[in-house]
Amino acid sequence: MDYSIDKVMQDVCLASEKVMNKPREDRTPAPDTLHTPADFDDFWLDTLNKLATVPVGIRIEESCSLGKGLHLESLSFQSWRRCRIRGYLLHRNSESARPLVVYTHGYNGRYEVARHWAELGLDVFGFDTRGFGRSKGAMSVHPDGWVLTGSGSAETSILRGAVCDYYRAVDVARQLSDKPPRRTLFYGFSFGGAMAMMGAALRQDADFVAAGVPSFGWMAGRRRLVKAGSGREVNDYIARNPHLAEAVMNTLAYFDCASFADRVQAPSIIGIGLRDRVVPAATVRAISDRLRCPKLIREFPVSHSNLEQERLWQRFEKEWVKLARTGRWPEHEPFD
């Protein structure tokens, strides 16, 4: 029997029709539920000015060859509040410049060395955001959930440092590259997608952005729609501590990915899972609808699930890898 990838995808697409025929939650954000603090720009300008005073402090902790010309460097660097962040650079020594992809993981995750991207022609820089994985020792986190750490104010929120981690990671990746990258793509999925978009909005120097179901969009909508993940942690915490609701939501407003969207200049590919308990489609559209840059929106039946239809996301990865390799924007072409 033929089990080619095309046959598998055909079967998955047929199965996805059954999923899509069921009712789904997909509301459009009302304008009055999207709140950007009046001092949003001043807050982030102050943050970046303070980050600039922190020495990068790069340490190469281990270096080895993986064969086929690939070289892996495990490393660490300093970020916001001098937290030491751990990551890696996987690159190929070559005479010509190569494209670079910078990424971080999903919520409660950690990076896995993405050798397959490097074998497709990319230099890869991945890192564990503060409080996660190999960077867990950088700081202690709230017992009720990472996202609640320092949630009493935007100044103390762990999200402030997390965005700085992505911002600083791009500098480190470029500094360690043998040659200036041919182009740089900011990538992430879910939590990582939100960090990529916020980083692109603040840095203004990404060539492309690829974000699969970026989280932290439309914070007010997340209160009503999210059933799992970081949004559930926030909702449960507020349910137990209703007197803290206003302070927590005011803090999260500074990290609403929808408020960053119109500041992203790089052409962006956004993936939406039409059924998602962690990052509902409406919260992603709150971000994608506000993008002013060239954009492509790719919809998939599900995300953050254990269903077979998750394999369709392979198309999303294939598309952004091709974009990073070639630098050719696909306009409104269908998937290859």
Q: Model pTM?
A: 0.91
Mean pLDDT of 220-224: 94
Instruction: Please enumerate in sequence order all residues whose Cβ is within 8 A of that of 292, keeping only pairs 6 or more positions apart, or say none.
Output: 261, 262, 264
Question: Which pLDDT band holds residue 1 (cuts at 50, 70, 90)?
Answer: very low
Question: Which pLDDT band holds residue 22 (cuts at 50, 70, 90)?
Answer: very low
User: Is the backbone of residue 89 left (phi > 0), alpha (psi -120 to 50) or beta?
Assistant: beta
Strand partners, 85: 77
More confident of the two residues 228 and 12: 228
Q: Phi then psi for 210, rounded to 5 degrees?
A: -130, 115
Query: pLDDT digit string (tens) for 316-331?
Result: 999 999 999 999 998 6
Q: Phi then psi for 171, rounded to 5 degrees?
A: -60, -45
Q: How far apart are CA 233 and CA 216, in angstroms?
A: 13
Query: pLDDT digit string (tens) for 239-257?
Result: 999 999 999 999 999 999 9
Q: Are the CB atoms for 229 and 279 separated by under 8 Å?
A: yes
Q: Phi then psi for 110, rounded to 5 degrees?
A: -155, 160
For the chain, how are helix, strand and coil distributed in percent, rounded to 5? 45, 20, 40
Q: Are the CB atoms for 77 and 58 separated by under 8 Å?
A: yes
More confident of the two residues 229 and 30: 229
The torsion of the CA quartet 123, 129, 134, 138, rounded to 10 degrees, works out to 140
- Whether 31 has a pLDDT exceeding 60, the answer reads no
Query: pLDDT digit string (tens) for 141-183?
Result: 999 999 999 999 999 999 999 999 999 999 999 999 888 999 9
The DSSP output letter for 147 is: G
Mean pLDDT of 97-124: 97
Provide, rounded to the nearest whole percent, the portion of the chain with pLDDT above 90.
84
Q: How far apart are CA 59 and CA 136, in angstroms?
A: 17
Which single residue is written with the structure tokens 């402090």?
57
pLDDT of residue 12: 44
Look over the chain and give the mean of its residue pLDDT values, rounded to a whole number: 91
Number of DSSP helices (H) and strands (E) in the chain, helices first:
11, 9
Question: Which pLDDT band holds residue 333 (cuts at 50, 70, 90)?
Answer: low
pLDDT of residue 6: 47
- Full set of structural domains in the chain with CATH: 29-325 (3.40.50.1820)
Question: Which pLDDT band holds residue 28 (cuts at 50, 70, 90)?
Answer: low
